[in-house]
Amino acid sequence: MDPKGKLIAITGGGGGIGAALARRFALAGAAHIVIADRDIAAARSVADEIGGSAQMVDVADAGALLDLVDDCSRTYGPIDIFCSNAGFLPLDPDFDDPQQTTDVIWQHAWEINVMAHVRAARAVLPSMLARGQGHLLQTVSAAGLLTMIGSSVYASTKHAAIGFAESLAIAHRDRGIGVSVLAPQAVATAMTDGKVSFGAELNGVLTADAVANAAIEGVMANRFLILPHAEVRHYMCQKAEDPDRWIAAMAKLRRRYAPDSSTSVAR
């Protein structure tokens, strides 16, 4: 979908990849961009910069996304592109025991990394389907395709998010709805500030602007899987071809960093 002249909403838009997406969509000629973030000051700063609007939204709140879509529709019209970008990255409390993360953290990650995508789809798809057009861009992570050493919760919830996105893409492909998942490895954002990433060690750190450029290109091409780090596709093939060899290689990588890598993150 061409963003020119379109109404776009972005969650987690107050910084990082979300803010970069907003700037890039603005350059592409979007009619209006709504920046949603639980940090309303950050959201307003980005909105003022691009001539958009801001709304305080905590995507962990079950009703917040429905309110966002309703408010946008009443004020600006139906949303054409919805970017589910907000995310939560908790690290394993014990690098050697990924199962020790508490149920509270698991549930919070599930609400943000999975259910926020589900609730956004529930809110925005009826109008899109009625019009026969629309696009969902979901920021996930290469951790959802591969895995992440140091955060079993992040890897698991991102895998689930991709599974849901695939279901949406299959169900609505013939009904005019595009679905894209944005799956970078390490990106220079507040989420990764001062932390070591295995992806960064292997393939470098991209800027949020570079990731946003890849995202816009993918949306315009109606591409499901958007991989800003080209190496991820190769790793996916290796994992699919020989899962046992893949696990052995990841275990070797983990040994290389243990026990001082509990600050590692994926993107």
How far apart, in whole angstroms, are the C-alpha atoms of residue 141 and residue 266?
7
Q: Which residue's entry shows tokens 């992570």?
A: 141
- ∠ at Cα 152 (150, 156), nearest 5°? 140
Q: Report how far residue 238's alpha carbon sits from residue 242's, in angstroms, rounded to the nearest whole number.
A: 6
Catalytic residue among 76, 154, 235, 257: 154
* CA 40/CA 35 separation, integer angstroms: 9
Q: How far apart are CA 236 and CA 253, in angstroms?
A: 16
Q: Catalytic: 235?
A: no
Helix (H) or strand (E) holding 65: helix 64-75
SS3 171: helix
The structure tokens listed for 45 are 């700063």
Annotated active-site positions, please?
Answer: 154
